[in-house]
Amino acid sequence: MQSYESNCLDLSSFELSEVPLDVFQRYYLQSLILSDNKLSELTPRIAVLRTSLRTLDLSHNKLTDLPRDCSRLLRLEDLDLTSNSFDHFPVAIENLHRLTCISLRENKIIELDGQYGLLSSLTNINLSKNKIFEICFDFGSLARANSLDLSYNNIPAIPSSIFKLITLVSLDVSQNPSLLNISPQIDLLTRLTTLLMMNCALVDLPSTIGKLTGMQTLRLNGNRLASVPPSFASLHALLWLDLAQNDMSFWSLPTTLRRVTRLDVSINRLREIPSAIGELRALQMLFLQQNLISFISPAIQRLQSLRELDLSSNRLTEIPEALPRCSSLEALKLSKNKITVVPVPVSHLPLLSLFTISDNPLDSHLDFPRFREKCILDIA
């Protein structure tokens, strides 16, 4: 039943309802994996491993709490409690001053409270997929935190103590449907490189977001944004920007986002793509599907690194003459428009391997032999 590898013991997926007693005779254990069992409680005997245990994986069990004796695991660094039945942050871990990673993902926590000042070594905290709606927890004491995941909860605002986490590199507050706005204090998180705020209820963004000049990934899809603030012009390090499924009817992106390689503005209400698009010359993937676009500026031809372009489900009546000049295109999607003619130069794109043009009122006499020779063609 047991598998061994040096000082690691893996007892996952054995349908255990309790921890075998011989485990506690292995005083050298540094890693104990008990995931995917049927544990409803953890024996206080766990404290026998206090001088050796670094990693404890209790994920996918039926635990509702931890015994006080867990507080004696003073060498513990990684604790995984994912997918259990905790309705609170376990008090037993408050003295684990070497703990760097904790996951309470997929539990039943409703409220976060208390101060856990001795957890100052924590770097990664995952509280995703709970039922949290109120946070009185003082995050400010987590002086080394670099990743915090509060996604899939119901928090109405980002707690002010989070803005004290000046070492934070990644923050995820996605899928919080009651999150209506972001505090201007967001600019205090100067080391952020990843900010995820998908599927909330944001109607605008604070101008101070422009001070996060190290930001590389910013995902804002599934909100109610009509535009982005002018301060976006300062986000010079941005590589991935996701604005899909918002309420944008005009192009508000600054021309200074010259490092962005992936841009998604699909499922909005854009009617045209202006000449400003030509300044985003690092773009490799551009998603504009499900808008109301009937015009694309010829400046798009400047996107010589563009590999994928999705313009499906728009109102284009013709393929812009400038498109075939995007010589790096590998995938071009134009389905569900009002296009009647495919210009010959499109078939000369040297790297094109996927071309979709279905559900357009195409001239029935069109022939596509060049396409069939070199790419997947969808003209049905």
Predicted local distance difference test score (pLDDT) of residue 366 = 62
Strand partners, 174: none
Q: Which domain holds residue 29?
A: 1-108
Does any domain span residue 75?
yes
Does any domain span residue 12?
yes
Does any domain span residue 138?
no
Predicted local distance difference test score (pLDDT) of residue 1 = 41
Does any domain span residue 39?
yes
Helix, strand, coil percent values for the chain (each to nearest 5): 20, 15, 65
Predicted local distance difference test score (pLDDT) of residue 115 = 66
Q: Are 323 and 297 in contact (CB under 8 A)?
A: no
- pLDDT tens-digit series, residues 186-245: 999 999 999 999 999 999 999 999 999 999 999 999 999 999 999 999 999 999 999 999
In single-letter form, the type of residue at position 354 comes to L
CA dist 120 and 161 (Å) reads 14
Number of domains in the chain: 1
What average pLDDT is seen over the chain? 94
Residue 113 pLDDT class (50, 70, 90 cuts): confident
Q: Which two tokens stand for residue 102?
A: 């904790």
pLDDT at 114 over 60: yes
* Residues 32/34/39/45 CA torsion (nearest 10 deg): -10
What are the φ and ψ backbone dihedral angles of 66, each rounded to 5 degrees?
-115, 145
CA dist 123 and 265 (Å) reads 33
Residue 293: how many CB atoms within 10 A of its CB? 21
Predicted local distance difference test score (pLDDT) of residue 212 = 98
* DSSP 8-state secondary structure symbol assigned to residue 19: -
Predicted local distance difference test score (pLDDT) of residue 3 = 45
Q: Which of 83-87, 212-216, 370-374 shows the lowest per-residue confidence on average (mean pLDDT)? A: 370-374
pLDDT at 183 over 80: yes
Compute the C-alpha angle 183/189/192, nearest 5°.
Answer: 115
CA dist 337 and 296 (Å) reads 13
Does any domain span residue 363?
no
Strand, helix or coil at 296?
strand
High-pLDDT (> 70) share of the chain, %: 96
Residue 94 pLDDT class (50, 70, 90 cuts): confident
Does any domain span residue 140?
no
Q: How far apart, in Å, are the Cα atoms of 153 and each of 64, 110, 200, 225? A: 19, 9, 10, 21
Q: Which of 75-79, 110-114, 147-151, 260-264 shows the lowest per-residue confidence on average (mean pLDDT)? A: 110-114
Residue 117 pLDDT class (50, 70, 90 cuts): low
pLDDT at 4 over 80: no
Predicted local distance difference test score (pLDDT) of residue 379 = 76
pLDDT at 105 over 90: yes
In single-letter form, the type of residue at position 64 comes to T
Residue 276: how many CB atoms within 10 A of its CB? 15
Predicted local distance difference test score (pLDDT) of residue 2 = 47
Q: How far apart, in Å, are the Cα atoms of 138 and each of 20, 85, 151? A: 37, 23, 18
Given phi > 0 = left and psi -120 to 50 = alpha, else beta, which region is 66?
A: beta
Q: Are 273 and 296 in contact (CB under 8 A)?
A: yes
- DSSP-assigned letters across all residues of 67-128: -GGGGG-TT--EEE--SS--SS--GGGTT-TT--EEE--SS---EE-S--GGGTT--EEE--
CA dist 108 and 127 (Å) reads 10
Does any domain span residue 61?
yes
- pLDDT tens-digit series, residues 245-269: 999 999 999 999 999 999 999 999 9
Q: Which two tokens stand for residue 245?
A: 């499924």
Compute the C-alpha angle 11/12/13, nearest 5°.
Answer: 125
End-to-end CA distance of the chain: 56
Residue 118 pLDDT class (50, 70, 90 cuts): confident
Tell me which range, 1-10, 85-94, 225-234, 347-356, is most confidently predicted by mean pLDDT: 225-234
Does any domain span residue 3?
yes
- pLDDT tens-digit series, residues 301-339: 999 999 999 999 999 999 999 999 999 999 999 999 999
Average pLDDT of 257-285? 97
CATH of residue 69: 3.80.10.10
